[in-house]
Amino acid sequence: MQQRLLDGKRILITGGTGSFGRKFLEVAYRDHCPRRLVVFSRDELKQHEMRALWPETDDSPVRFFIGDVRDVERLRRAFHDIDIVIHAAALKQVPACEYNPREAIYTNVIGAMNVVDAALDCGVKQVVALSTDKCSAPVNLYGATKLCAEKLFIQANAYRGEHGTRFSCVRYGNVVGSRGSVIPLWRDQRAGGCITVTDPGMTRFMITLKQAAQFVISSLSIMDGGEVFIPKLPSVNILDLARAMASECRIEYIGIRPGEKLHESLISSQESHNAVDLGDRYVLLPAHPWWTSNHAGSKPVPVGFEYHSDINETRLTIEQIKEMIANAG
């Protein structure tokens, strides 16, 4: 089903030079036969580096497009003749968003509005936007902006009109080894014999880049438009992660940073009345009159159900964390 979905399709990834975009391009190119794979981003250096790996030859579907999601006219030009948009562009570093709130809103909220408008105007068939566990009961600006973005994409299905553009989101946890995350930080710190840990009791959901890319593709294959797809993920304790990464190092505890939670949530109790269990994932269904479809075989979750990293039934051991990191590429 996934193979048929991407074969011959013209696909664009906003934020395509980021960690997810690079992995999605790799998976789509290796395992599928898209007609075109467009990398849309504002970083010309990263595009130059990617172009060395994926040359724009006549027999390659890969193309590069400089642009910013803040610029709706540039998006309209880029979305021309595109079938599928994966929206991965975002400002995602929690401290940076706390310190630069206007910039976070311009990119994460206004940028989402622009992607919706450009997709509708250009007749894009499917749009999947990447979200985060930090938007569930958010306590920081990054989470709040991503919650706004989710609302924008889901509600866009109500006015897609004759073009029939379908919008859905995927919401998942921390990505193993993504740029700016703790694993690359600790790799750098190990040489000095000391790593920094915020709080020894902290827990997080974890997913690899490959799993994230594959989850987006599988969600594309089953989306009706209006869903938020949430994978069933393992949790890790931050101290176990530190021991798996650098057991020989001294640990300096620095405290939780502004805007951070001790534990993350993928589904809050307030969202449980719209959540269903689809086996390998949960799905948040929209409570809107325009929603007319459903997912066969899905089961409603119990009333008051919560999906939090600290009470998650699946918790990785130190050895399992080591294996996850080793296979993350």
Model confidence, pTM: 0.94
Residue 180 located in a structural domain = no
Q: Point out the catalytic residue in the list 9, 23, 92, 134.
A: 134
**Separation of alpha carbons 186 and 268, rounded Å:** 31
When divided into structural domains, the chain yields a total of 1
Whether 227 has a pLDDT exceeding 60, the answer reads: yes
Token readout for 113 is 């509005």
**Residue recorded with tokens 């509600």:** 155
Confidence band, pLDDT 50/70/90 cuts, at residue 272: very high
Whether 1 has a pLDDT exceeding 50, the answer reads: no
Residue 183 located in a structural domain = no
Q: Examine the residue annotation and report whether 134 is marked as an active-site residue of this protein.
A: yes
Residue 186 located in a structural domain = no
* pLDDT tens by residue, 58-115: 999 999 999 999 999 999 999 999 999 999 999 999 989 999 999 999 999 999 999 9
Confidence band, pLDDT 50/70/90 cuts, at residue 294: confident
Residue 260 located in a structural domain = no
Q: For a pLDDT cut of 90, what percent of the chain falls above it?
A: 83
- The CATH number for 71's domain is 3.40.50.720
Residue 294 located in a structural domain = yes
Residue 73 located in a structural domain = yes
Domain extent at residue 142 = 2-173+209-232+268-307
Residue 288 located in a structural domain = yes
Region 141-164 average pLDDT: 93
